[in-house]
Structure 1
């Protein structure tokens, strides 16, 4: 096998396929991750994201394709390098700290081949990184959830991994403190310089925590880019729907719902259009074909429930920045600033 190449991508996955009992779980999956990036594998349950993470970790054999870490091939369908030889760190969903070991001993668990002096120096370094220097002698049950997460990170980083893998790292955290903890953990990972891949089904985690997001569906990556790119310019109807990027309607219905200037010259009868919420204008109009059903303040602006005649899904939820000059029960006219995204 080739030796590690520091100038190569931190992780390169090429045409990867995985099947269980003749059922394809991953199909022709390719991904390239730059050094120091935090990348999210995002998608609904059953899309293959956890299988992809396990394949990268060496916990799942692959049928075809290649996985390289810093230019070193660790799987190619013919061989599968053992996990312990891949130089990766792993943070499990439940952190998996050893309850009978102190914080210091948990962090030092992967350093047992080093001298005691080297181990103690590295443990002190990791405790300083996660800002828990005074907790070395405590046990996991004496820590808060956030502190346990930090110790799990310290333990994963202690052996200097080339890649950090995280499986649903925020799923067990109360929503009220999750955003703060995501920000703190992201800062710590960036400070360490390690490249990280994490799996989640929660879009807000991708927005806050990731540099780039790979949206997965049916065992394939549908779109790869920054969270802002994926949300603002989804590549397909399926991505737009999953990301909740705006209001989707059949292209054939655009002309009778909106001003004719936003209607495509040749609408596709089977195609869809995405109208981003912040660009929709809602105005009271006696001849409007829509009815404003409700208005709700959401902290950023206003959510409008609009009933539209003749559509399979009668109600749209439209987000606007300012309260429109109309009220529930009014007939309204919809217009759009710019052009919708067509699929």
Structure 2
């Protein structure tokens, strides 16, 4: 598989800019999750990379070959890109085998070469080859769509929110199968999604598109733990933001003096914590640790099975609302008085 290199990519529709100078590199064999809210430009970027739309400015190189520039627009069929759309888009009048070989040269189509190998790659039995797409579940159809995309040995695989139409249990199973197949094929792939959990669990790297601009590209751990902006912190998972004051690598806020993951300039800041960093316990449990825990009242509890989201309001002269994520079996009662303690370092954004 190949390396994808994008430099200064811009695209507008009817004079309205949609992509603003996108710079992005996807290394060989990497699965990049392109994450962003609706309207951020994800689909436009995918369509430009596939050749469905022509870029206004900038360059695209796939495997060292220029596919787009100010004066060049390589047709889609010459880019050697495998494309997996949202709904799979299998041909209902063709068998699974005929769907898989559809993009191959005519002689290879008739011979059904590699069908069994590709079905095995995506985790489907060989006898599915003669089935009609209508006989498959939604997740199985998406696996066939991936097999079809991989059949011509493309330089790059593009996946356009391929799990969005599946129910929760099937979504997890299917995306694990797709990730395994891409890994086994050594594929270079771009997964377009607005699902944060999907991006964090599947991507080797995550690139976040926000209002047509790439705001951060990093490992899933860095995107979650060290988001570049407040907005990104709120978008990628749940976040607790508290006003505070930074001094010498610490931030004073309603939960005490918290050590900062990265120092910022002294002065007013917004302190960011993840709910799982806010641990709760009964007041008696903290009797031997005075000063390191803060009293808070449970104002709401949302039980979600394996975990619970607990909303609290701190006591004191200036109460603030915070949230904590705890194992479901440890969910407290509404109105219970607890103590909270922060686990780990905080992140801070300069205020104003």
Deviation at 1:39, TM superposition (A): 1.0
Matched residue, 2:276: 278
Cα distance in 1 for residues equivalent to 2:216 and 2:140: 34
Cα distance in 2 for residues equivalent to 1:319 and 1:298: 10
Contact 2:8–2:23 (CA<8 Å) still a contact in 1? yes
Deviation at 1:27, TM superposition (A): 0.6
Deviation at 1:300, TM superposition (A): 4.5
Matched residue, 2:68: 75
Match of 1:258 among 246, 255, 261: 255
Deviation at 1:101, TM superposition (A): 1.1
What CA deviation, in whole Å up to 9, does each residue of 1:202-237 have, x standing for no partner?
Answer: 112112322111111011111112212211221221
Cα distance in 1 for residues equivalent to 2:340 and 2:206: 32
RMSD, aligned α-carbons: 3.1
Change in Cα spacing, 1:339 to 1:148, as seen in structure 2 (3 Å) is: closer
Contact 2:101–2:115 (CA<8 Å) still a contact in 1? yes
Contact 1:16–1:28 (CA<8 Å) still a contact in 2? yes
SS in structure 2 of the partner of residue 194 of structure 1: coil
Cα distance in 2 for residues equivalent to 1:341 and 1:180: 34
Matched residue, 2:3: 10
SS in structure 1 of the partner of residue 59 of structure 2: strand
Change in Cα spacing, 1:297 to 1:115, as seen in structure 2 (3 Å) is: closer
SS in structure 1 of the partner of residue 215 of structure 2: strand
Matched residue, 1:3: none
Change in Cα spacing, 1:97 to 1:302, as seen in structure 2 (3 Å) is: closer
**Unaligned stretches of 5+ in structure 2?**
285-292
Q: Is structure 2 residue 115 aligned with structure 1 residue 123? A: yes
Change in Cα spacing, 1:226 to 1:313, as seen in structure 2 (3 Å) is: farther
Match of 1:140 among 122, 133, 142: 133
Aligned pairs (5 A) from 1:195-234: 195-234=188-227
The TM-score with structure 2 as length reference comes to 0.84
Cα distance in 1 for residues equivalent to 2:114 and 2:332: 63
SS in structure 2 of the partner of residue 205 of structure 1: helix
Change in Cα spacing, 1:333 to 1:73, as seen in structure 2 (3 Å) is: same
Deviation at 1:289, TM superposition (A): 6.7
Contact 1:179–1:208 (CA<8 Å) still a contact in 2? no
Change in Cα spacing, 1:29 to 1:124, as seen in structure 2 (3 Å) is: same
Cα distance in 2 for residues equivalent to 1:154 and 1:173: 18
Contact 1:68–1:74 (CA<8 Å) still a contact in 2? yes
Cα distance in 2 for residues equivalent to 1:136 and 1:202: 31
Change in Cα spacing, 1:160 to 1:290, as seen in structure 2 (3 Å) is: same
Cα distance in 1 for residues equivalent to 2:239 and 2:163: 26
Change in Cα spacing, 1:312 to 1:288, as seen in structure 2 (3 Å) is: closer
Match of 1:291 among 274, 294, 297: 297
Deviation at 1:328, TM superposition (A): 3.8
Bigger drift between 272-281 and 38-47 goes to: 272-281
Cα distance in 1 for residues equivalent to 2:331 and 2:39: 44
Matched residue, 2:322: 316
**Unaligned stretches of 5+ in structure 1?**
1-5
What CA deviation, in whole Å up to 9, does each residue of 1:265-287 have, x standing for no partner?
Answer: 96544x42111323324456699
Deviation at 1:37, TM superposition (A): 1.0
What CA deviation, in whole Å up to 9, does each residue of 1:169-210 have, x standing for no partner?
Answer: 001111122111111111111111121111111112112322
Answer 1 or 2: which has greater strand percent: 2
Deviation at 1:72, TM superposition (A): 0.7
Q: How many residues align?
A: 334
Match of 2:145 among 152, 156, 168: 152
Cα distance in 2 for residues equivalent to 1:228 and 1:161: 29
